[in-house]
Structure 1
């Protein structure tokens, strides 16, 4: 919560299900108490996915809201209790409001295509943060539904951008038996933040802070959490740099600006380079050693590239060398900009200079290399994200690696982080579930 607050995030959405094997009510108490003690806010987000909360029981939903509505950690909007959902399109929101005692700012994740009475809602949240086919699949040759399309559909449905909760997410790769897909997200984190600034919605929700299984986490790997099998593709795959990139965009959004300026960069820690890449090319055949046996649906939709975002206070020259490829040199302007270069196996090197190369601003190698083999035998389409200046060493702990060997078919990998604090320092030779989402 302290990390999120420092970034400019105002509240966490607590996506949760009814009590069962886990006492979620007690977990909510912990979250609300922590929010209160850290001057943060949280709110309930009811998960209506199959087998969880029932749309046919609005009373149970309202009762849970009533139980937490007076807590000092509760997010209030317009003096009302902010509440959201994951799906639940046919829920009787009026009955929920009545049972909860009224005074709810209800902004659920309902689909505009349903028969719901949207006139009684206070807001509307879209989960379409990635390019899809309009459903729960990657885009196809005949159907592509972009987040910006959803923005239009949801705002038209709710009738006012001030009631819209716009989603933004950096990535989506998941590799379980039950779900094995990849939504194309190469430059999504940068592109979507710029769309957010142009959109001007009242709310923005980051998907997610800590859903490691779907690879769209921006929270630290070192956060305390248990392993649901995701460690196979999250080990050594820090996303901390995506928080660094978001900071000036959040500042710009809160200021009502249409673009990130030098002032926003200066106010959020100064100049930075953020880069990301996948650990292996998309064309590798890992079927004989992969834990699932097949590449993720959508694997052909991504580029074998290194993506580089510069946050600069003045123009600079950037050189990126990916493996055995020739160096690529370009001029990056002041402000926030992005480029991509072809990815090749080997060391990924970065250098930023000024004054015709005489002044080195940043220079170093990524802690992780691209390899022309299947990392730990699997299809790993997660992203490694790094920064200059380099951040603190971030790695999964024992609990986060507890299921690493389940399904692993090779003996060359062990349940320990392979990137050491020393390697993290080396790359900085620079001058200088409850799944949680974050709302600003």
Structure 2
């Protein structure tokens, strides 16, 4: 297993230098096209889960030709209004083609007056209802940048697109500088190295550091194998990504954060619950295996209230409250089953193809939210065989301070149910368990590169 290094002091410096800002909001990206079977109670259930994690709202990804949009949006806004939750549009310009400008204007006029639609207040705050200008984003669409001056003339919005397919400096200038900020989809590392904040800093510099808004992406994982969707079949490194990225949020201090995603099961970066009525894409896209069914990512929501509070307040609390532990792991060793043609990295995106097993470790990864690591021990049981773990990666302020401590223990050829136990001075503090066991047998004899998080 690779050595895990302590967090750099720069992250601590950033926490000490920044104070609370009303502008800071955390959203989760929702693929509305996965939800045609959702009822009002389904929307309410997911919104309540998001609120429990201190997520402020959903960015609704909607494709131009999706016939389910009208019904889904009506339910979403009804549920969000009743629960005082925020929504805004992320118009998808790739899934089913570009949005015609007149249809964008029509959609914005129909929904931006809704109580739940998120609005940016001039003093930096935001929220549903009230004053301010509605926030609108995109997934791609730089080729339609010229449409947005006319759209903004028709509906006064704060426009923060994702145009990550072009360089940040170029994106700022598109459409005559029509964007009020930029959202980045660059939430995953390329190759076997850990993600850095280099791309975030490029965006902030291009935006003028405070002159235009930056929405920073955070994601827990990425794996896709959907032959019917243009042969999508690649993996990006997710080991250690989620907790490391939230530490980077504390350092970068963006205007907003968008989690990728709440429910994109096809790309395995969901943090919301897995509902059976959301999984139809695996059949329609001819996936060799339904790699989201039974693969809960609920564990990745466990520390969100802590991470979001640190981001918004600019400080680590003196106490974390309830100390706890979560864990994530793949359910089969990398070489146990045929790889399914999956590449490490996306060669169609210009990246150098690698073997997927070169990007991921056969390990159980764990994260512990603690007031202090003093006297704390970690044990990882796989099929009843227990290994002792270490808390290798510590909070920015160092060992003995409140925050998230992380580590990993290799599978070491063990199979069976997985349990992580956190103890202090011999007394159990918390456990993480209940997910699928680790096995050398794979469904349909194809490797599932998705992870489970408990």
- How far the C-alpha of 1:345 sits from its partner, in A, is 3.0
Out of 153, 159, 167, the residue aligned to residue 98 of structure 1 is: 153
Out of 78, 101, 110, the residue aligned to residue 67 of structure 1 is: 110
| Change in CA separation of 1:342 and 1:261 when aligned onto 2, cut-off 3 Å | farther
- How far the C-alpha of 1:296 sits from its partner, in A, is 3.9
Corresponding position of 1:155: 204
The answer to whether the 8 A contact 1:296-1:379 is kept is no
- How far the C-alpha of 1:167 sits from its partner, in A, is 0.4
Corresponding position of 1:276: 328
Corresponding position of 2:135: 82
- How far the C-alpha of 1:376 sits from its partner, in A, is 3.8
- Alignment pair present for 1:328 and 2:381: no
- How far the C-alpha of 1:225 sits from its partner, in A, is 2.2
- How far the C-alpha of 1:210 sits from its partner, in A, is 0.7
| Change in CA separation of 1:191 and 1:145 when aligned onto 2, cut-off 3 Å | closer
Corresponding position of 2:300: 242
Corresponding position of 1:396: none
- How far the C-alpha of 1:373 sits from its partner, in A, is 2.6
| Change in CA separation of 1:35 and 1:363 when aligned onto 2, cut-off 3 Å | closer
- Counterpart mapping for 1:121-270 below 5 A: 121-132=179-190, 139=191, 146=195, 148-161=197-210, 163-177=213-227, 178-222=231-275, 224-229=277-282, 232-257=290-315, 260-263=316-319, 265-266=320-321, 270=322
User: CA-to-partner distance for each residue in 1:188-240, whole Å, 9 max, x for gaps?
Assistant: 00000000011111100001001111111100113752421177111221111
- Counterpart mapping for 1:260-409 below 5 A: 260-263=316-319, 265-266=320-321, 270-286=322-338, 293-298=340-345, 299-300=356-357, 301-315=359-373, 316-322=376-382, 327-330=387-390, 333=400, 334-343=402-411, 344-347=413-416, 348-355=418-425, 357=426, 359-363=427-431, 366-386=434-454
Within 2, Cα distance between the matches of 1:183 and 1:39? 36
- How far the C-alpha of 1:286 sits from its partner, in A, is 1.8
User: CA-to-partner distance for each residue in 1:59-104, whole Å, 9 max, x for gaps?
Assistant: 332222122121111100121111000011132221110132xx21
- Alignment pair present for 1:26 and 2:71: yes
CA-atom RMSD in angstroms: 2.4
The answer to whether the 8 A contact 1:17-1:47 is kept is yes
Q: Structure 1 residues 8-17 or 118-127, which shifts more?
A: 118-127
User: CA-to-partner distance for each residue in 1:170-195, whole Å, 9 max, x for gaps?
Assistant: 00111111201111011100000000
Within 1, Cα distance between the matches of 2:218 and 2:296? 19
The answer to whether the 8 A contact 1:171-1:216 is kept is yes
The answer to whether the 8 A contact 1:319-1:328 is kept is yes
Within 1, Cα distance between the matches of 2:242 and 2:183? 18
The answer to whether the 8 A contact 2:187-2:217 is kept is yes
| Partner secondary structure for residue 234 of structure 1 | coil
Out of 33, 41, 59, the residue aligned to residue 13 of structure 1 is: 59
The answer to whether the 8 A contact 2:328-2:452 is kept is yes
The answer to whether the 8 A contact 2:327-2:420 is kept is no
Within 2, Cα distance between the matches of 1:71 and 1:147? 38
The answer to whether the 8 A contact 2:435-2:452 is kept is no
| Partner secondary structure for residue 25 of structure 1 | helix
User: CA-to-partner distance for each residue in 1:400-437, whole Å, 9 max, x for gaps?
Assistant: xxxxxxxxxxxxxxxxxxxxxxxxxxxxxxxxxxxxxx
| Change in CA separation of 1:23 and 1:349 when aligned onto 2, cut-off 3 Å | closer
| Change in CA separation of 1:376 and 1:271 when aligned onto 2, cut-off 3 Å | farther
| Partner secondary structure for residue 304 of structure 2 | helix
In the superposition, the TM-score normalised over structure 2's length comes to: 0.73
The answer to whether the 8 A contact 2:390-2:408 is kept is no
| Change in CA separation of 1:223 and 1:252 when aligned onto 2, cut-off 3 Å | farther
Number of aligned residues: 359
| Partner secondary structure for residue 46 of structure 1 | strand
The answer to whether the 8 A contact 1:306-1:322 is kept is no
| Change in CA separation of 1:224 and 1:51 when aligned onto 2, cut-off 3 Å | closer
Unaligned regions of 5+ residues in structure 1, if any?
A: 133-138, 288-292, 387-440
Corresponding position of 2:350: none
- Alignment pair present for 1:53 and 2:98: yes
| Partner secondary structure for residue 197 of structure 2 | helix
